[in-house]
Structure 1
Amino acid sequence: MAELLARTSSAELTEWRAFERIDGPLGPGRGDYHAALVAATVSNSIRALGGKRGTKRVTDFLLEWDQRRGPKTPHELLREVSSINAALGGTHSGTTS
């Protein structure tokens, strides 16, 4: 970060920030958005073929990188996976402890 600040003026950083606000994120954030767009498209296509109503939005598949909350417990992760599985029409055949 220090090298970036030493080589780039405040005005240029402001221009890049404005560019991102208009044209979307640069770097890996843009790839995350593209992957979420594909996931939403596939999910909605599968739901439509199965006759299910409701659509998933791109934001439903975007990764959340804010780690201030701390890691999720195994039970929280299982709840999230079960919810996604049910939303996609899946069933659960195993047992959990």
Structure 2
Amino acid sequence: MTVGELLGRISSRELSEWMAYERVTGPLGPERADLHAAIVASTVANANRGKRGRAAKPADFIPRWDRREQSWQEQLATVQRINTALGGSQTG
């Protein structure tokens, strides 16, 4: 369906409301690529974890759509925590 056809069926306001809803709840419709990718990611993570490592679940890899944006400092701190949890070291 084209945008013109869509706007012929619903108002711009309703379309905006659906866009806002999807931004909070995640993708609409049967295609849940995020879930499929999360299943694959958890499988790969579990195949590569150490014997004492916590088993990953698909939910660990699904984005939360209602989160606020993080600052670069918060993103860096998250990456450093993940790096340390995976046995990495910090250089530089």
TM-score by length of 2: 0.59
Deviation of 1:63 after TM superposition, in Å, equals 1.6
1:6 equivalent in structure 2: 9
Out of 27, 31, 36, the residue aligned to residue 38 of structure 2 is 36
Where in structure 1 do 4 or more consecutive aligned residues deviate above 3 Å? none
* TM alignment of 1:1-97, pairs within 5 A: 3=6, 6=9, 25-27=29-31, 30-47=32-49, 50-66=50-66, 69=68, 71-87=69-85, 89-95=86-92
TM-score by length of 1: 0.57
How many residue pairs are counted as aligned between the two chains? 72
Deviation of 1:58 after TM superposition, in Å, equals 0.8
Distance 1:44 1:37 in 2: 11
Structure 1 unpaired stretches of 5+: 8-24
* Identical columns (%): 35
SS in 1 for 2:62: coil
Structure 2 unpaired stretches of 5+: 11-28
